[in-house]
Amino acid sequence: MTMEFMDELGLSAFICGEYYPSIVSGAKTLLGQGAQHDCTSPIDGTKTARFQLATPEQLNAQTERACAAFKIWRNTPAPVRGQFVRRIGELARQYKTQLAQVITLEAGKILPEALGEVQEWIDVCDFAVGLSRQLHGLTIASERPGHRMMEQWHPLGPVAVISAYNFPMAVWSWNAMLGLVCGDTIVWKPSEKSPLCALAIQTIVNRALDEMPDVPKDIVSVIIGGGEIGKAMSQDQRYPLVSATGSTRMGKSVGEAVGARLGRSLLELGGNNAMIISEHADLDLALRAIVFAAVGTAGQRCTSLRRVIVHHSVKQALCEKLVQAYQSLRIGDPRSEHILVGPLIDEMSYATMQAALTDAKQQGGTVLIGGERVTEKVPEGGFYVTPSIVDIAANAAIVQQETFAPILYVMSYENIEQAIDIQNDVPQGLSSAIFTENLKEAELFLSPSGSDCGLANVNIGTSGAEIGGAFGGEKETGGGRESGSDAWKNYMRRSTNTINYGGELPLAQGIVFE
Asked if 82 contacts 129 with a C-beta cutoff of 8 angstroms, the reply is: yes
Residue 465: per-residue pLDDT = 83
Asked if 28 contacts 66 with a C-beta cutoff of 8 angstroms, the reply is: no
Q: How confident is the model at residue 2 (pLDDT cuts 50, 70, 90)?
A: low
Q: What are phi and psi of 302, to 5 degrees?
A: -65, -20
Residue 366: per-residue pLDDT = 98
pLDDT surpassing 70 at residue 1: no
Residue 511: per-residue pLDDT = 94
**Start-end ranges of CATH 3.40.309.10 in the chain?**
273-468
Give the closest residue to 15 by CA, choosing from 234, 196, 262, 223. 196
What is the Cα–Cα distance from 287 to 300, expressed in whole angstroms?
Answer: 19
Q: What are phi and psi of 196, to 5 degrees?
A: -65, -30
pLDDT surpassing 60 at residue 64: yes
β-bridge pairing 366-369 and 431-435: unpaired
Residue 190: per-residue pLDDT = 98
Q: At how many degrees (to 10) do helices 96-107 and 111-131 cross?
A: 120
Q: Which residues contact 463 (CB under 8 A, 6 or more apart)?
A: 273, 292, 293, 296, 301, 303, 304, 305, 431
- Specify the range with the lowest mean pLDDT, choosing from 12-16, 47-51, 95-99, 288-292: 12-16
Residue 3: per-residue pLDDT = 75
Q: How confident is the model at residue 203 (pLDDT cuts 50, 70, 90)?
A: very high
Superfamily of domain 3-269: Aldehyde Dehydrogenase; Chain A, domain 1 (3.40.605.10)
Burial class of residue 320 (count of CB atoms within 10 Å of its CB; 0-12, 13-18, 19+): exposed
Asked if 389 contacts 370 with a C-beta cutoff of 8 angstroms, the reply is: yes
pLDDT surpassing 90 at residue 16: no
Residue 464: per-residue pLDDT = 80
Give the closest residue to 31 by CA, choosing from 47, 8, 49. 49
Supply the CATH classification number for the domain 273-468.
Answer: 3.40.309.10
pLDDT in tens, 411-426: 999 999 999 999 999 9
pLDDT in tens, 266-280: 999 999 999 999 999
pLDDT in tens, 155-184: 999 999 999 999 999 999 999 999 999 999
Residue 498: per-residue pLDDT = 97
> What average pLDDT does this structure show over 4-16?
88
Q: What are phi and psi of 298, to 5 degrees?
A: 55, 40
pLDDT surpassing 80 at residue 220: yes
Residue 12: per-residue pLDDT = 85
pLDDT in tens, 185-202: 999 999 999 999 999 999
Q: What share of the chain in percent tops pLDDT 90?
A: 96
What is the Cα–Cα distance from 501 to 507, expressed in whole angstroms?
Answer: 14
Q: Which of 106, 117, 268, 476 is catalytic?
A: 268
pLDDT surpassing 90 at residue 13: no
- Residue 278, CB-side half-sphere exposure with 13 Å CA sphere: 21
**Start-end ranges of CATH 3.40.605.10 in the chain?**
3-269
pLDDT in tens, 286-342: 999 999 999 999 999 999 999 999 999 999 999 999 999 999 999 999 999 999 999
What's the mean per-residue pLDDT of the chain?
A: 97
Q: Which residues contact 64 (CB under 8 A, 6 or more apart)?
A: none
Q: How confident is the model at residue 137 (pLDDT cuts 50, 70, 90)?
A: very high
Asked if 327 contacts 360 with a C-beta cutoff of 8 angstroms, the reply is: no
What is the Cα–Cα distance from 477 to 486, expressed in whole angstroms?
Answer: 19
Query: What contacts 24+ positions apart, CB below 8 Å, involve 331-338?
Result: 331/374, 331/378, 331/384, 331/385, 331/386, 332/374, 332/377, 332/378, 332/384, 333/43, 333/378, 333/379, 334/43, 334/104, 334/108, 334/109, 334/110, 334/111, 334/114, 335/1, 335/43, 335/101, 335/104, 335/111
- Catalytic (active site) residue 402: no
